Amino acid sequence: MDPERIDLHTHSHHSDGLLSPVELVALAAQRSLSLLALTDHDTTAGCAAAAAACAAHGIRFVPGVELTCQWRGREIHVVGLAVDAQEPGLVARLADLARRRQQRLAAIGERLTRAGLDGAGIAASVGAAKPVPTRTDVARELVRRAHAEDLASAFERWLAQGRPGYAPADWPELDDTVRGITAAGGHAVLAHPHHYRFSNGALRELGAAFAAAGGAGVEISLAGMGPNDASRAAALARRCGLAGSVGSDFHEPGLPWRPLGRFAKLPDGIVPLSDRLGPLAP
């Protein structure tokens, strides 16, 4: 299948994307995508609506999720593809992650209050709109209240690690997260390995731990990934026996560096993870 018409990493407004699942699928149809996964942070709430919209447009839909976890104390994202969103273990895992995110939102609010902002009001607005709140939602609220000019400066000034509104969260461990995805019938994919800024040695150890836990793939062709990052990811895939996944990490139409469904082909010799997804609706 033509990798340019596949996108296996996208967000809707159920996490920190701006579009509804129906609007996301309409954009995917406009871009002639044939295979689309919705992978919101720690929630599958948009999957049913996205599946119905994909069926109407003749796009194969993959129910997915991007789970937040930790390895050696560092935050790692694992995409689960073709998960059964009804599987009780996954349902319980997502409920637990929603609780952790709500607790962290309250802690962010307290920190913003100590920094002189209306932290309780900010946390209340975000919490009312988002059952599974992300820092991006807080960043948008900070922009709306004119505490920052745009998303990037809201992170830089308030929400990035070490800034006044940063609150740590105690995320689940990587191996447990990978096993949870597999138990829900899904394929676990190590998301955006270039984001973690690991040394080659640490990245290899992460890849080995991920594969040992049952991880199936790694993102190799991602919008915004340079050729060096992609060849490092491809080397990791070969070394650890992982398939390669493609996606945009699309959040909103206004970010041209993360366009839905447009990225490079997988390098030769890499098994496309999409080949393992099997026959899907419609």
Applying CB under 6 A, which residues contact ligand AMP? 16, 41, 68, 134-136, 151-152, 155, 160, 251
Taking the complex as a whole, the smallest distance from the CB of residue 10 to Mn ion amounts, in Å, to 8
Shorter beta-carbon distance to Mn ion: residue 181 or 191? 191
Q: Which of Mn ion, ligand AMP, none interacts with 124 (beta carbon under 5 to 8 A by kind)? A: none
Q: Which residues contact 53 (CB under 8 A, 6 or more apart)?
A: 21, 22, 25, 26
Q: Which is nearer to ligand AMP, 151 or 211 (CB)?
A: 151
At closest approach, how far in Å is the CB of 152 from ligand AMP? 5
End-to-end CA distance of the chain, in Å? 16
Residues whose CB is less than 8 angstroms from the CB of residue 138 and which lie 6 or more positions away in sequence, other chains included: 105, 108, 122, 123, 126, 154, 158, 159, 165
Instruction: Give the span between the Cα atoms of 172 and 169, in whole angstroms.
Output: 10
Binds Mn ion by CB under 5 A, chosen from 77, 93, 101, 135: 77
How far from chain centre, in Å, is Cα 156?
20
- 225, interface contact from Mn ion, ligand AMP, none, CB < 5-8 Å by kind: none
Q: Is 18 helix (H, G, I), strand (E, B) or coil?
A: coil
Distance CA 13, CA 15 (A): 5
137 binds Mn ion (CB under 5 A): no
Smallest distance, Mn ion to C-beta of residue 255, A: 11
Site for Mn ion in 3-32 (CB under 5 A): 16
105 or 270: whose CB is closer to ligand AMP? 105
